[in-house]
Amino acid sequence: MMKNTSSTCDWQNKKRIVKEAYKHNKSNLYKHKANFTWKGIKKEKYKVSGKDWANIIRQTLIGKHGETTKIHVRYFEIAPGGYSSYEIHRHEHVVIGVRGKGVCIIDKRKYKIDFLDTLYIEPNAPHQLRNPYDEPFGFLCIVNAKRDRPKILEV
């Protein structure tokens, strides 16, 4: 004979938890203003500190505004003569050139990136982005929302 036990529906509890997790997750349009800036998006330093990079800014378009997406979309801009840190990490990148042109060094190979060129940077590949040209180099960078911290390497 079965024992009569009172139980709750797990799906009702999960529905409430999911709804709470997505409470601040709202569709939003970040209008491009001009000169590669977006309404509601702040320009930030590339990294908090360090002497291994120069003349680069970051704007996080998707990933810092309450979204629960599994990716982050960021816009980086490297001024003429600037460069990112030479680093390695377990996560991958997708880089899409949208302004000017630049160079990405992956291991010992150099890739020239022009407008709408798309570059995949595999996990654990030492890499650095540079701008040896006379105009700003801007690119979108798509990465996993959950990612490891980069290890800075010597150039």
How many Cβ atoms from other residues are within 10 Å of residue 122's Cβ? 11
In a domain, 45, yes or no: no
CATH at 114: 2.60.120.10
| Residue 66, in any domain of the structure | yes
Domain presence at residue 6: no
**102 and 111 in contact (C-beta within 8 Å)?**
no
So what's the pLDDT on residue 75?
Answer: 98
Residue 146 placed within a domain: no
Model pLDDT, residue 6: 47
Residue whose pair of structure tokens reads 């629960």 in the numeric block: 68
**Would residue 97 count as lying in a domain?**
yes
Number of domains in the chain: 1
Residue 129: inside a domain: yes
- Residue 71, classed as helix, strand or coil, is strand
pLDDT in tens, 85-127: 999 999 999 999 999 999 999 999 999 999 999 999 999 999 9
In tens, the pLDDT along 4-40 reads 544 455 545 555 555 565 666 788 899 999 999 999 9
Would 10 be classed as within a structural domain?
no
pLDDT at 10: 55
Q: Hey, what amino acid is at 149?
A: R
Range of the domain at 80: 51-137
- What residues are annotated to the active site? 141
